[in-house]
């Protein structure tokens, strides 16, 4: 599953091709644990941005945690944005974290 972040206006960053307004975030890595519980890395190569979020019960809940974090970052930077979830077959990291993933309503 992909979490697509669409900004209200394009921004410039450390990438080729000029300003962009759409970034796709996915789960990378395997779950880790610390004193606060389980977490996993989420990121986007296009945005050159990776961060840790709390591990949810499934892929969509985990990406919802990432969505809240990205939304808060955009608001604090004065940017408006919206999000979409895009269904696709689970990647290797999603299968490692959640096993064979069932369809989520």
pLDDT, tens only, 23-50: 999 999 889 998 988 999 999 988 888 9
- For the chain, the structural domain boundaries read 2-98
49-94 residue pLDDT tens: 899 999 999 999 999 999 999 998 888 777 788 999 999 998 888 9
pLDDT at 96: 87
Decide which of 17 and 34 is more confident.
Answer: 34
pLDDT at 41: 95
Decide which of 100 and 18 is more confident.
Answer: 18
CA distances from 19 to 3, 11, 14, 99 (A): 20, 5, 10, 37
Whole-angstrom distance between the N-terminal and C-terminal Cα of the chain?
A: 13
Strands 37-44, 2-11: pairing kind: unpaired
Q: Which residue in 90, 15, 77 sits closest to 46, CA to CA?
A: 15
> Model confidence at 105, in pLDDT bands (50, 70, 90)?
very low
Nearest 5°: the CA angle 34, 35, 38 is 45
Q: Which residue in 12, 52, 25 sits closest to 36, CA to CA?
A: 52
Dihedral Cα 99, 61, 71, 21, nearest 10 deg: 50
Decide which of 100 and 29 is more confident.
Answer: 29
């Amino acid at each position: 599953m992909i979490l697509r972040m669409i900004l209200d206006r394009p921004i410039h960053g450390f990438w080729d091709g000029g300003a962009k307004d759409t970034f796709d975030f996915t789960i990378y890595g395997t779950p880790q644990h610390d004193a606060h519980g389980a977490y996993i890395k989420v990121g986007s190569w296009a945005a050159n941005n990776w961060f840790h979020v709390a591990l949810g019960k499934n892929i969509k809940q985990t990406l919802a945690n990432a969505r809240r974090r990205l939304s808060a970052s955009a608001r604090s930077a004065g940017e408006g944005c919206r999000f979409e979830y895009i269904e696709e077959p689970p990647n290797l990291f999603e299968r490692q974290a959640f096993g064979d993933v069932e369809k989520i309503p």
